[in-house]
Amino acid sequence: MENPCLTFVTPTIIANDRSNISLIAHEITHSWTGNLVTNANWEHFWLNEGFTQFVERKIMGRVYGENIRQFQSLNGWEDNMLPTINTVFNPTHNFTKLIPNMAGCDPDDAFSVIPYEKGSAFLLYLEQKLETPPNLKNFFASTLLVSLTNPYSQRDVLDTIDFDTWLNNPGVPPNKPKYDESLVNECRHLAAKWLTASDQEVLQLQKQQFLDMTAGQKVKVLDCIEALYSLNSVGNYEILKSWILIAIKAKWTPIIEFALEFVTKQGRMKFVKPVYRKLLSWEESKQKALETFEKNIPYMHPITAAVVGTIIKSTVI
């Protein structure tokens, strides 16, 4: 999507609450991290995406506040990186390394959130260890690069960082950055109400409490009743994807047709891949998912179609 100083973006980022602008920040950032300075080969793909994800969240912190940056970073660790390590691959899988061995591997097979989230978590961890200010230019120019190249600059701190494990070992990183969990705790609190409340107490929950949350926070509480929050009609694809996955997990059959429509009217890999995987793993929806995929192959991007085809081979055949 990114090109130097020219960005092509998916229409799925258009939300009526303008909540998906972080993707714009991400792609603009690629004009520097990824295009101006780029990786030599696919083994070092994290240099493109880890740095860009890190800078994207820096921008979000400047626009909306540091607590939003922390919230998005924590979500990246908990909701993206950990499930990919533990479920999509496994904790010893080569593709969970920041620098995987790509000999004989198709880069498309290795593509995941690992270079994005594990990479940005590593940079956030370095930022915190080096106690740098939030100024991005200072972090790279006068702190990180100087610290790494000057043997007398914060050498005692750098010696405590396990670079080899972070970069070359599979699985969960050896250290977790320190995250501000205040916004996440609001989501957990509302979710806990749904788990423990009586029917009458559920009816008394205020819709505005949900609406006042950020789009990212809403994703955390999507196990709320669709009839109350009208989740099928929201205009944010991030929320729709999470709602669909939760509804499939709960074996709620009314979601099947909505999910099939979702993977048909847009082709973004981030959304199509996980929804198809869940639809194909559920006996109730498997056949309809296969039929929908076969029907829409001519209209899909070849890479997306190939990825879904791989999922079919691993889950159905």
30 marked as binding residue: yes
Measured CA to CA, the distance from residue 176 to residue 77 in angstroms comes to 9
For residue 116, indicate whether it is catalytic. yes
Residue 95's alpha-carbon distances to 81, 162, 213, in angstroms, are 12, 19, 34
Measured CA to CA, the distance from residue 245 to residue 271 in angstroms comes to 10
State which amino acid sits at residue 301: H
Active-site hit among 27, 43, 117, 186: 27
Residue 254, helix vs strand vs coil: coil
Measured CA to CA, the distance from residue 271 to residue 219 in angstroms comes to 14
189 marked as binding residue: no
44 marked as binding residue: no
Contacts of 258 (CB under 8 A, 6+ apart): 232, 244
For residue 283, indicate whether it is catalytic. no
Residue 2, helix vs strand vs coil: strand
Active-site hit among 116, 125, 179, 237: 116
Binding-site residues for Zn(2+), in ranges, read: 26, 30, 49
Which residue numbers are catalytic? 27, 116
Binding-site residues, in ranges, read: 26, 30, 49
